[in-house]
Every structure is written in C-alpha cells, then in structure tokens.
C-alpha cells in the first residue's frame, strides 16, 4: 500500500484467509474511519462498540506491517474501535493503532494474535477482549487517567494478554492510569520485563468498581522496571510470577502454531 490516508470502513470477511497488507510507511500509510457509539449508520442503525470499527478482520492468518490503523472520531466520542481482530493467527509488525476509547478489540476467544514492535495509544480500555494475545516490544501509550486493558479471558484459557519487553508511557498530565481492569471474571493479563511509566498508579490495577470479577482475575507481573513498577505497592489480588512460572511464557512456543504461508 502506498502512502496516503485511506478513509473507509473496511471488512475482511472469513473467506479471505492468508491476506497480507504491507504499507509504505507506518506514519504515512493510514487506514481510518470515524464511527463511534451514538453515531447513526447510513442504514439508520445506532453505532455501538461492536459496530464502530474502522477495520474488522474475520479471516484467519492475516498479517500486516508498516500501517497505521486509526479511529479518528475524537477524544470525547466514546467507544470508537480502530481494529476489531477476530480471526485466528493474526500478526501485526511495526504498526500503529491510534484512537481513544476501545481502540483495539481482540474479539474472539478462539483467536491467537501477535503484535511486534507496534505502537498502541488510547484512553479507556483501549486494548480489550477475550483473545489470547502476545505483545512483543510494543509501546503502549495512555492519554487519560483510565485503564490500559479490559481483558475478558475465558476461564479455560491459560493465557490472555502477555506484554513482553514493552514500554508503557502516558501523557505528562496522566498519573492515575491502571494496567488493567477485568471486563469478565478470570481476565488474564501479564506484564514481563516491561517499563512501567509514572502515569500508572502505584497499586497497578483496578477492580472495576468493586464488582466481583477481580476476585478471580489472573493479573501478574515479572521483573518490570520504571517509576511505577514497585511490586510492594500493588493490589493484594495481583501477584508477581516466580522464575519458574515466568519460563512458561515463551514467545517461540506461542508462535509455533502460527502458519505464515498457505
């Protein structure tokens, strides 16, 4: 794909497996749209979180690199998904995910996804859903005192979100963001060897307004560093992985089931 801003609502249906998109430049090859909750579609339906996507991927074995995926509805627009990724074995490399609330919707409990050296920014719950997802050397940027993740991992899935060797930053005005809050019981999120910026609250996590989901949430960290990485200040229902437990999180094993060609 050449440089340019492509403003169009895009759907890759489930029959279009093994599609690859390669942009000319991740900053100047931009796929964008501006649907958001409350907006009315051309058919007369009210847009909601699940229909607000700029790009929806239903196909398996999708890969993308050097592209910005964006929802430019605006800071106060409410839920406005840039990418809804539902297919299995999705891979994104050197991409940017730009928006505000609910930017990246990993919306299938059967889906496995991999993001390498990507930049993801947003305000509230901007990485969310039930999929199993590995984030490798990604930059995660918060633009509001809210929540980075809202995982809804099924109880039977061992892993939910794994952030490995990532960098978490925030706007200079942000000092009370959380690493995540559990959208459903058994939400699973792990940060391993990540830089945790000062925008993250000392206790790390949020219990979502004292609902019971936090009691079974599987939130953990391992050898994180940075101004807001002190394990002694974390909530008592999150934990630090042991050395042996951390060894189980192996990206080579995660990627061993991915098929990159037909």
Residue 110 corresponds to which tokens in the numbers above? 């059967």
Rounded Cα gap, residues 8 and 111, in angstroms = 25
Instruction: Tell me the torsion sign for CA atoms 68, 74, 76, 80.
Output: negative
Q: Which domains does the chain have, with CATH numbers?
A: 4-255 (2.160.20.10)
Q: What tens digit of pLDDT does each residue of 8-64 get?
A: 999 999 999 999 999 999 999 999 999 999 898 888 889 999 999 999 999 999 999
What letters, b where the CB count within 10 A reaches 16 and e where it falls short, cover 235-249?
A: beebbebeeeebeeb
| DSSP string for 124-155 | SS-EEESSEEEEES-EEEE-SSSBSEEE---T
Q: What tens digit of pLDDT does each residue of 110-156 get?
A: 999 999 999 999 999 999 999 999 999 999 999 999 999 999 999 99
Q: What tens digit of pLDDT does each residue of 188-210 get?
A: 999 999 999 999 999 999 998 87
Annotated active-site residue in 35, 60, 72, 102: 102
Is 125 tagged catalytic? Answer: yes
Residue 259's pLDDT is 62
Task: Say yes or no to pLDDT of 262 above 50.
Answer: no
Is 171 tagged catalytic? Answer: no
Rounded Cα gap, residues 81 and 98, in angstroms = 9
Task: Say yes or no to pLDDT of 234 above 70.
Answer: yes
What number is the average pLDDT over the span 161-182? 98
Annotated active-site residue in 60, 86, 88, 125: 125
């Amino acid at each position: 794909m050449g440089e340019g801003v492509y403003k169009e609502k895009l759907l890759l249906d489930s029959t279009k497996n093994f599609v690859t998109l390669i942009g000319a430049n991740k900053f100047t090859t931009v796929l964008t749209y501006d649907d958001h909750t409350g907006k009315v579609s051309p058919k007369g339906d009210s847009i909601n979180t699940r229909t607000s996507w700029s790009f929806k991927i239903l196909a398996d074995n999708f890969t993308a690199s050097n592209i910005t995926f964006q929802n430019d509805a605006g800071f106060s627009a409410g839920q406005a998904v840039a990418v809804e990724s539902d297919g299995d074995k999705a891979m994104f490399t050197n991409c940017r995910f730009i928006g505000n609330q609910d930017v990246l919707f990993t919306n299938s409990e059967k889906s496995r996804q991999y993001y390498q050296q990507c930049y993801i920014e947003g305000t509230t719950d901007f990485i969310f859903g039930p999929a199993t997802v590995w984030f490798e050397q990604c930059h995660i940027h918060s633009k509001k005192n809210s929540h980075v993740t809202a995982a809804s991992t099924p109880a039977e899935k061992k892993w939910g979100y794994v952030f490995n060797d990532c960098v978490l930053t925030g706007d200079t005005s942000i000092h009370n963001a959380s690493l995540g809050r559990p959208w459903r019981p058994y939400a699973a999120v792990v940060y391993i060897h990540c830089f945790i910026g000062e925008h993250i609250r000392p206790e790390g996590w949020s219990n979502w307004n004292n609902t019971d989901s936090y009691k079974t949430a599987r939130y953990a960290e391992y050898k994180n560093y940075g101004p807001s990485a002190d394990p002694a200040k974390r909530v008592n229902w999150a934990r630090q992985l042991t050395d042996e437990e951390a060894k189980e999180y192996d990206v080579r094993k995660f990627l061993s089931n991915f098929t990159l060609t037909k």
